[in-house]
């Protein structure tokens, strides 16, 4: 079963005393706090994004939304994504374009993290570590650059798929 499964959140691996577990603040609360108009459609879409255990692309998001509001339109999905992105409340991912040119979205977490995408099985491993934080700081300082969004993605092969490729040579 290919595609977009989060195998593990690796934040624990990089944990030091001050590292927390990855958490996602409420998008709705944020929107309200910022005085942004809450429409039926936005409430629905935000809820779906917030609650989804996997990374959704625009088409999938629309599909799910239509189950609860058949009338909702593609353009509203894109506009809402644009809104959330503009507010810095969601991150946009490519996941190494494992399947097509989709973009995936996830509610912004309290800690930035990387995504490792397996070319064979499509699994997505999330990985956060202090080394990433250090690198960001270094880039900002030495590149003299005010970073607003960072995206680190890697493509390759997960442990399971390396083993599988060994035992049953393609």
Partner DNA sequence: ATTCTAGTTGCAACAGTGTTACAACTGGGA
Partner DNA sequence: TCCCAGTTGTAACACTGTTGCAACTAGAAT
Edge-first strand listing for the sheet containing 56-57? 56-57, 104-107, 90-93
To a copy of itself, the closest distance from the beta carbon of 52 in angstroms equals: 22
Query: Is residue 149 close enough to count as binding DNA by CB under 7 A?
Result: no
* 56: nearest Cα among 134, 4, 131: 4
Q: Closest CB to DNA among 45 and 128?
A: 45
Query: Is residue 170 close enough to count as binding a copy of itself by CB under 8 A?
Result: no
Binding mask 11-30 for DNA (x = CB under 7 A): --------------------
Helix (H, G, I), strand (E, B) or coil at 56: strand
In 10 A of CB 15, how many CB atoms?
A: 14
DSSP lists the bridge partners of residue 105 as 56, 92
Eight-class DSSP state of 109: P
Q: Closest CB to DNA among 38 and 152?
A: 38
CA 68 from centroid of its chain's CA atoms: 23
Binding site for DNA (CB under 7 A): 36-42, 57-59, 69, 71-76, 78-80, 82, 100-103
Binding site for a copy of itself (CB under 8 A): 10, 13-14, 92, 94, 96-97, 101, 114, 116, 118-119, 125, 127, 129, 131-132, 134-136, 138-140, 142-159, 162
């Amino acid at each position: 079963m290919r595609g977009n499964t989060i195998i593990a959140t690796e934040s624990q691996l990089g944990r030091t005393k001050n590292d927390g577990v990855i958490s996602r603040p409420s998008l709705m609360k944020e929107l309200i706090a910022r005085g942004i108009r809450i429409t039926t459609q936005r409430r629905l879409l935000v809820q779906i994004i917030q609650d989804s255990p996997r990374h959704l692309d625009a088409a999938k998001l629309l599909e799910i939304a239509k189950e609860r509001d058949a009338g909702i339109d593609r353009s509203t999905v894109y506009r809402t994504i644009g809104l959330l992105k503009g507010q810095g409340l969601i991150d946009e991912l490519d996941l190494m374009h494992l399947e097509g040119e989709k973009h995936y979205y996830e509610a912004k977490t309290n800690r930035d993290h990387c995504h490792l995408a397996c070319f064979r099985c499509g699994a997505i491993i999330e990985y956060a570590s202090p080394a990433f934080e250090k690198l960001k700081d270094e880039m900002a300082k030495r590149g003299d650059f005010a970073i607003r969004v960072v995206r680190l993605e890697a493509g390759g092969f997960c442990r399971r798929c390396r083993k599988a490729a060994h035992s049953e040579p393609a």
